[in-house]
A and B are shown apart, each in its own frame.
Chain A
Amino acid sequence: SAVISQKPSRDICQRGTSLTIQCQVDSQVTMMFWYRQQPGQSLTLIATANQGSEATYESGFVIDKFPISRPNLTFSTLTVSNMSPEDSSIYLCSVWIGYEQFFGPGTRLTVL
């Protein structure tokens, strides 16, 4: 399995500001994934973060809005830029260990 931590666990932010979410894994992994879970909804993949290359974004998500860093094999950040109330969600990072995908505890973001 994997131990994944995220910071912050929750935050309340003002419209127009940005928030950077950190994800730390206890083992080296090639890919890290960022998901969004809007209130009462399922999970949607935002992007895949690869160490040493640009992140790969899913349809409907762009780098200007969700810039991602991946400085090493155990760490990644996701920034939610120029936030609006529609960005209020839980943001989760995840990794694959073998055939199983493990999720971090999530960052609960509220935008006022």
Chain B
Amino acid sequence: ELKVEQNPLFLSMQEGKNYTIYCNYSTTSDRLYWYRQDPGKSLESLFVLLSNGAVKQEGRLMASLDTKARLSTLHITAAVHDLSATYFCAVDASGSRLTFGEGTQLTVNP
């Protein structure tokens, strides 16, 4: 059974600081996804990582994938309040069926 683990689960950080969210998974896969969820809202797709070594950046967020280590990271640079949300990673290891991590609840404080 595929397990996807994120850490930390809760992250409180100050504006302007940098931090990294980690996503580990337990079985071979070269497809990993990052989503953002605001309170009471649905999921917004952030990044699609489809191969080992993939790196994607959008604004203050950068995601990477190491399929050999079964690890993805979501790096936050110079955080701003608007980034406050819950971030999920998800792995596709069985034909289009995503398994989600527990989510990281990020709060960015002024």
Contacts and interface: CB of A to CB of B under 8 A. Distances in A.
A45 interface: yes
Interface in A8-47: 31, 33, 41-45
Given A43-B88, A100-B48, A101-B33, A106 B98 contact: no
Contacts of A41: 102
B97 interface: yes
B100 interface: yes
Nearest to B105: A40
A102 interface: yes
A29 to B, nearest CB: 11
A38 B35 CA distance: 17
A48 interface: yes
Contacts, number: 45
Interface in A77-102: 92, 96, 99-102
B42 A103 contact: yes
B42 A101 contact: no
Interface residues of B, number: 20
Nearest to B102: A42
Interface in B27-49: 31, 33, 35, 40-43, 45, 48
Given A99-B31, A99-B48, A99-B50, A42 B42 contact: no
A11 to B, nearest CB: 15
B88 A31 contact: no
A31 B97 CA distance: 10
Nearest to B97: A45
Contacts of B31: 99
B48 A42 contact: no
A67 interface: no
Interface in B9-36: 31, 33, 35
A103 B43 contact: yes
A108 B39 CA distance: 12
A45 B43 contact: no
Contacts of A106: 41-42
Interface of A: 31, 33, 41-45, 48, 58, 92, 96, 99-106, 108
